[in-house]
Amino acid sequence: MQNSKIYWLPFLFGALLLGVILSSSNKNISEPKKDRPNILVILTDDMGYSDISCFGSEIPTPNIDLLAYNGLRFTHFYNTGRCSPTRASLLTGLYPHQAGMGHLSTENHPLPGYVGDLSKNAVTMAEVFKNAGYATFMTGKWHLAKDNDYKGDMSNWPLQRGFDRFFGTLNGSGSFFDPGTLTSNNTNIAPYKDFYYTTAISDTTVKFIKESPKNKPFFGYIAYTAAHWPLHAPDKEVKKYKGFFDKGWDILREQRFKKLKELGIIDNSYVLTDRGVSIPAWEDEPMKEWQVRRMEVYAAMIDVMDQGIGKIITALEEKGVLDNTLIFYMHDNGGCAEPVGTEKMEVPLTAEQKISKPSAYDKPNIDKKQLYTREGQFIRMGKGVLPGPADTWTAYNEEWANVSNTPFRLYKQWVHEGGIASPLVIHWPKGIKAKGQLRAHPAHLIDIMATCLDITGIPYPTKYKDNEIQSFEGKSLSPAFKNKPIERDYLFWEHGANRAIRIGDWKLVAQTAFNKSFTEADEDKWELYNLKEDPTELINLRDKFPEKALAMIKTYREKAFYTKALPWPWKPRK
């Protein structure tokens, strides 16, 4: 027996050594690191590239600026062009179609990439970090479940997708004073008196941070709905912006463009794009008072959000964890040109509409067609309605979205730069020694998962709850912290049949109609740009470089099938 044991020892040693080698070569297997950072991901809604002051805006955002000037700003960061896809991509590290969210959670199709329900073959950051011993919480907009019925299927709600605690809304938009689907964990709740959603998100985030266990790191996802329509803000905040925008959109775009250059975010290769063809020169605008008021409210919405981020920073300082908290700040898409509530002129209220119809504050609001505020006021829409109060429902439209997206063209829903370019601010004093620096590395939402896994050493699962899990698509941004390159083959986009692929400095992109109409002619509406020489996409080089265009079209189709963006559910109009 003794000789038998000696005989097997070399084989046992060899097997153990082989296991170590295989483990070290598997990218999904790693040892969690000690003193892992807390992680906060802050996402805002329907804000453009230049809407915060550290990216060129005249709107003061001192708390976001504090994170930026004590951290890093990525100047070539991308989202997916729309709310649900961005949220799916951010939380899973996948392209949105791979996560089942090629369009919106409200538009469901049988094709795997467009089911409108977060895939069970994708794992969220909350699920990964909770499994690794993190406390997890979320505040704000979810918009990733097909079923928002409180008696229905909750399997894709936040608590069922890895979050320990949740306060927010399940749907895509709503009143800031009385949001539908306002939810605590899995329960529909009513707003309190003087409720304002942005403030409630910030205050609840502070509460969750303070109550987070001291013996665990935490992962928090803060998904503000500011500054998505409707334009709602407390009157005292709106008054702060009186006169801010009286000079109009033409001058404001020029001023933002100049400031972007002064900040070093853009260089002389950038050309300020023309205003949209449907936008008049400011001097020719007949409804200046109304237009200015819309932007005043929009600015107030951003201001209140920035104040809330200041409260969050203070809570981290008081808990003694700010230095070892990795904070990401970004936007879910470009500025929104949707003409919500402004298609017609304001119509005077009828006698019936003037009748007060109040509802109790202890009753949740789940009515998607709400016509009255809780105080009994009829909700007004139309050109000329001065926004801000709870009884109004309007957007700021293309005129101001064009300012938000300075210096780019096009908007939310499209995948030209105006629809997908976003600021990215990363703040982590313990892990990032550079302060106030810019990074021009092309980066994408898919990289957030990869970065966090790289920094924490947490393994990414191949199976979760008996489901096979797709490999994440992103690249860690941590080399960029030291200004080293990030190697990647391509970045990919598709939304509503608007399509793009970026390979190096070259971008292939195609635009379809705003309403998702798609014809055979749209199939070949490709444009080709060199983003190093023409970052605002003004010089189409497809005819000059036909072979490059054809090669990139071929690559796009290959990647579209791989990421489940093909086939499309969009059908040609008859």
pLDDT per position as a tens digit, 127-182: 999 999 999 999 999 999 999 999 999 999 999 999 999 999 999 999 999 999 99
Identify which of 2-11, 253-262, 353-362 has the greatest average pLDDT: 253-262
- pLDDT at residue 2, rounded to an integer: 39
- pLDDT at residue 171, rounded to an integer: 94
Q: What is the pLDDT of residues 419-461, one digit of tens each?
A: 999 999 999 999 999 999 999 999 999 999 999 999 999 999 9
Asked if 112 contacts 102 with a C-beta cutoff of 8 angstroms, the reply is no
- pLDDT at residue 3, rounded to an integer: 42
- pLDDT at residue 514, rounded to an integer: 60
Q: What is the CA radius of gyration of the chain?
A: 24
For residue 27, pLDDT beyond 60: no
Closest CA to 451 of 117, 77, 191, 115: 77
Decide which of 283 and 34 is more confident. 283
- pLDDT at residue 300, rounded to an integer: 98
Residue with tokens 């925008």: 245
How is residue 261 written in tokens?
């250059």
> What is the pTM for the complete model shown?
0.93
Q: Residue range 40-55: average pLDDT?
A: 98
How is residue 525 written in tokens?
């509406």
For residue 362, pLDDT beyond 80: no
For residue 227, pLDDT beyond 70: yes
Q: Residue range 208-222: average pLDDT?
A: 97
Alpha carbons 321 and 37: distance in angstroms, whole number: 9
Alpha carbons 238 and 235: distance in angstroms, whole number: 5
How is residue 567 written in tokens?
């086939």
- What is the side-by-side order of every strand in the sheet holding 498-503? 491-495, 498-503, 506-510, 526-530
Alpha carbons 65 and 403: distance in angstroms, whole number: 20
The pLDDT mean for the chain works out to: 92
Q: What is the pLDDT of residues 53-72, one digit of tens each?
A: 999 999 999 999 999 999 99
Alpha carbons 536 and 51: distance in angstroms, whole number: 17
pLDDT confidence tier of residue 516, bands split at 50, 70 and 90: low
Question: In 3-state terms, what secondary structure has residue 517?
Answer: coil
Q: Residue range 201-207: average pLDDT?
A: 98
As a CATH number, domain 489-574 is: 3.30.1120.10
43-48-54 Cα angle (round to 5): 80
Q: Residue range 242-268: average pLDDT?
A: 98
- The class level of CATH for 38-487 reads alpha beta
In terms of Cβ atoms closer than 10 Å to its own Cβ (0-12, 13-18, 19+), residue 108 is middle
DSSP 399-431: HHHHHHTTT----TTS-SHHHHEEEEEEE-TTT
Decide which of 22 and 278 is more confident. 278
pLDDT confidence tier of residue 518, bands split at 50, 70 and 90: confident
Q: Which residues have C-beta within 8 Å of that of residue 166, sequence separation ≥ 6?
A: 137, 138, 139, 142, 157, 158, 159, 183, 184, 185, 186
Q: What is the pLDDT of residues 2-25, one digit of tens each?
A: 343 333 333 333 433 333 333 333
Q: Residue range 262-283: average pLDDT?
A: 95
Q: Where are the domains of the chain?
A: 38-487, 489-574
- pLDDT at residue 243, rounded to an integer: 94
Question: In 3-state terms, what secondary structure has residue 412?
Answer: coil
For residue 472, pLDDT beyond 90: yes
- pLDDT at residue 573, rounded to an integer: 56
Asked if 395 contacts 475 with a C-beta cutoff of 8 angstroms, the reply is no
For residue 218, pLDDT beyond 70: yes
E strand intervals along 521-573: 526-530
Length of the chain: 574
Asked if 252 contacts 407 with a C-beta cutoff of 8 angstroms, the reply is no
Closest CA to 555 of 505, 489, 497, 498: 489
- pLDDT at residue 567, rounded to an integer: 87
Decide which of 453 and 360 is more confident. 453
Alpha carbons 8 and 498: distance in angstroms, whole number: 62
Residue type at 557? R
